[in-house]
Amino acid sequence: MSQSMNPQDEVSPARRPRRTNWLNLPTEIAASLLAATTVLISLPPVNLPPWAIFIGWAGTFAAGGPKRDVFKKIWPAMVLGSTVALLIVLSFEQVSHYLSGWAFTVAQMVILFVLNGLMIATARVSSTFSFVPGMFFGFASYFATVFGGFGPVAHNPWWAWVAVVPMNALGPIFAWLNVKLQVPHAHT
């Protein structure tokens, strides 16, 4: 006599949950543990900007989560944004030697308009730099770093760039670690 199996008793391999998590921590614990590590990153003498990690981390989830296609679009875009912000700061510094008052303010507006416009236009011609929000994650992170006095040499445009780019790059890695450390969510 053969035993009849109920099809619902067996779970197909496609529906079986994959265990890719390391510690199975609650989401709040995993995220908070990672956030706490940023305190060490921001300590002197390097004085790195921890918020740049959070911007890249949140941006990764806003872009669809820590997946290869998200990494491929967010990392180059953040570097481009920080680089354009560096060029803006360097241009402002150069113009400040020749202009002052309203003339300087207008020059800053023109520099910002032109370089920001070129940065965004890059998304139209390059698939590598097509993620415009990522550009602004890097852009904002750079300005906060240089004007906030973070980096190994406070208010130095070049050192701010050296400090912010790796910190933004850690954001997607923290997003990936966040998922790897937490309890898997039920897929409903």
What is the pLDDT, as a whole number, of residue 42?
A: 86
- Number of structural domains (the chain) is 1
What is the pLDDT, as a whole number, of residue 165?
A: 98
In a domain, residue 105? The reply is: yes
Q: Under a CB-based contact definition with an 8 Å cutoff, are residues 76 and 157 in contact?
A: no
Structural domain span for residue 74 = 24-181
pLDDT in tens, the chain (188 residues): 445 455 454 544 455 455 556 678 888 898 999 999 999 988 888 899 999 999 999 999 999 999 999 999 999 999 999 999 999 999 999 999 999 999 999 999 999 999 999 999 999 999 999 999 999 999 999 999 999 999 999 999 999 999 999 999 999 999 999 999 987 764 43
In a domain, residue 47? The reply is: yes
145: which 2 tokens? 């770093």
Backbone angles phi, psi at 30, to 5 degrees: -60, -50
In a domain, residue 101? The reply is: yes
> Residue 97, SS3?
coil
What is the pLDDT, as a whole number, of residue 22?
A: 64
In a domain, residue 148? The reply is: yes
In a domain, residue 82? The reply is: yes
CA distance 176 to 65: 8
pTM, entire model: 0.84
Q: State how far the alpha carbon of 122 is from the alpha carbons of 5, 60, 77, in Å.
A: 59, 20, 10
Q: Under a CB-based contact definition with an 8 Å cutoff, are residues 140 and 150 in contact?
A: no
